[in-house]
Amino acid sequence: MDWFGRAKIKFTHHVSPIPILSKDGSQTDLLKICETSTPPCQLNPLLFNGHLQTMWTAVGKDAPEIHYRRQIFNSNHANYTGTFAVDFVVPPHEDRHAKLPPRTAYFEDGKFEAIGSEDSRPMLIVLHGLSGGSYEIYLRHAIAPLVMDNGGWECCVVNGRGCANSEVTSGVLFNARATWDVRQVVKWARKTFPNRPLFGLGFSLGANILTNFVGEEGSGCLLSAAVAVGNPFNLEVANIQLQNSFLGKELYQRVMGTNTRKLIMRHKESVSKFTNLNFEAIERVTYLYEFDREVQTVCWGYPTESAYYRDASSSDSVLGIRIPYFAIQSSDDPIAVEAAVPYQEIKSNPYTVCLTTSLGGHLAYYEIGGGRWHAKPIVNFLRNMAETINLKSISHQVNGDTVVEPQYASSFDPIRRKMQVEVAE
């Protein structure tokens, strides 16, 4: 047990992390930025393991009051049609909408159309965890220092389809592999705010989606950097470990299964128009893997939930990342289990660094007094990148020093997750 809640910290990284120039002309690298962004991890000693930390999330409800305005985006993907909701952080307002989460209201007529700006304020695009939304407590703790009290940042949260009281308008639901909505928002933000540096932040399922996205985009990614917190990475490994322990199955799998079942049943009428889901079977769902079997496989065409987990996992996507990427994990996380963290892939990619703490649970990190430690390295890293780093220096060459590119077998595509073998004629 760590002494009085003082967690051990370790960094996993490439032997030669990407070199980066500071605005003052001095040279640093990705690892040094991550290290200087990470303060000592002193957590509440009464919550001395990952289960207690994670369970306390049902009790510790204090969080900064973030206000949002919601815009409904029409998907521009040819195959994955429908709509999704994006919540933008705005100054405090008194508007209330009975069907939206607290402190959230729609944009007033004409306001969203005029949102474009030439300013250079950094902008954060956030993805939440499974069945959550912009209202999540862990999320608000992390973004509050950046957006409140003249923090200087702009921020929006991309809600999963059907989440955060958004409507389902097609047969497409949230999915750990679904990167197209965040891709659309990032492209929209680049066009709408041409001078803003864009950053990504994802939690849990959202961290998995964000990792898949930046891996798919590679060197063409429009984000300047990304932070992923509590990423399950290898969903099949995480699922197996959860099923093989009593608390994993009877607590975490059961809670997540119940939450997702309630979510889909809330949208039963609209979803029924677009899918052939068996709602009688869904009503009997107890565990998350049962939900994935009854819902995700049917909606997305996977033969089994294991096939979905393998396809949606972001562990291989780490190999394709070509922007500064900072992962924050806890080795006692009972949901995003350490066995699923792709440490070897992280070591092979100079654009990625993983911070692992020995305590913290799943998106918990409760300090004495109720603060959330994970907010500190997130905020420090993002501020360092936006305020002290010459973002234009982040390329394959810095001050004449060529970045050591990851070397893989030429036939392996980390995004397709398959070795491509040419058949001899």
* DSSP class per residue in 357-419: ESS-TTTT-BPTTS-BTTHHHHHHHHHIIIIIB-GGG-SSEETTEEP------TTEETTTTEE
State how far the alpha carbon of 126 is from the alpha carbons of 80, 129, 398, in Å: 21, 10, 29
* Prediction pTM value: 0.94
CA atoms within 13 A on the CB side of 29: 18
pLDDT at 403: 56
Per residue in 212-267, pLDDT tens? 999 999 999 999 999 999 999 999 999 999 999 999 999 999 999 999 999 999 99
- The domain spans of the chain are 3-234+317-419, 240-312
* pLDDT for 275 beyond 80: yes
Per residue in 113-166, pLDDT tens? 999 999 999 999 999 999 999 999 999 999 999 999 888 999 999 999 999 999
How far apart are the two ends of the chain, measured CA to CA in Å? Answer: 61
Question: Do residues 277 and 203 lie in contact, with contact meaning Cβ atoms separated by under 8 Å?
Answer: no
- In this prediction, what percent of the chain has a pLDDT beyond 70? 93
Query: Known catalytic residues?
Result: 204, 333, 362
Question: Do residues 156 and 185 lie in contact, with contact meaning Cβ atoms separated by under 8 Å?
Answer: yes
- Burial of 193-210, coded b for 16+ CB within 10 Å and e otherwise, reads beebbbbbbbbbbbbbbb
Spatial separation of the C-alpha atoms in residues 121 and 89, rounded to whole Å: 14
3-234+317-419, CATH topology level: Rossmann fold (3.40.50)
- In the numeric block, which tokens belong to residue 12? 């996993």
